[in-house]
Amino acid sequence: MERAFNRAFTTSLASTNAAQPNHQVPKSEEADMELADKILLWYNEKDYFSCFDLPQPRMNALDRPVWDVSDKDLSKAFRKTSLKIHPDKNPDPRARDAFDKLNSLYQILQDHSLREELIRTAAERAKRMEKRSWNPAGMDLNEELEKVSASAKEKRELQKEEADGFASQIAAQLKMKRARAQYKQALESRRGRVASESDSEEETQPNKKQAPKKDDEDNEEAAAAIRSAKMRANAKRKKKKFTM
């Protein structure tokens, strides 16, 4: 009886398992699910640039932070990663949180002042980690010499670039200073010409004002002559009448 029950239960369980569909997640979705977890981990560890699968900032030979990634590269990496962890496409329950954190981080990196601060912090962190992992006993001498030589070469090139840039900046400032001086000189010269023309006009204006006085004098003389002529004519008429 017991053996018959066990056989029946085993058969029923096998048929039930066979009737259930297979819900295995494809490997691509598994990778995307792992990516969401990785992004949350990197974000919490402040390894922000790994969230976009981009190279880490570093310190150059002059101990200045550099990040060889353009705005276009950053936007492209954000679009690619955000599509993989978008909640509508990624079945991972933590995809929403990872997507939100990635989006907020991208918005922060759009601010160049905040980006420079993150780059500096990440570069300093990378340098500290490099010092901790440095093990001269386990290094090959030739590799170490090549590394030192490459660093020295990079330092010389950077110093030359900075010197050339500084010289160009000084030349541009001197050019701007000369241009301002020329503009100021031209402006003063123009003001002098305007003042000279104004003085000339003021000198000619009194003569123009005296001209009407001369015309008035001429008119008065003409009127006096006319009156005198009338008086003589009247005197002649009276004399002629008296004679008659």
Could you read off the pLDDT of 37-67 as tens digits, one per residue?
A: 999 999 999 999 999 999 999 988 888 899 9
Kindly report, residue by residue over 93-104, the tens digit of the pLDDT. 999 999 999 999
- Lowest average pLDDT, out of 64-68, 136-140, 209-213, 226-230, goes to 209-213
Check whether 175 has a pLDDT greater than 50.
yes
Q: pTM for the whole thing?
A: 0.49
Least confidently predicted of 30-34, 70-74, 78-82, 212-216: 212-216
Min mean pLDDT across 65-74, 98-107, 110-119, 127-136 is at 127-136
Sign of the four-CA dihedral 181, 186, 188, 189: positive
Range name among 57-66, 103-112, 160-169 with the lowest pLDDT average: 160-169
CB atoms within 10 A of CB 33: 20
Measured between alpha carbons, how far is residue 64 from residues 57, 135, 160 in Å? 10, 24, 15
**Residues 11-27 pLDDT 10s:** 443 443 343 334 344 44
- Half-sphere exposure for 227 (CA within 13 Å, toward CB): 6
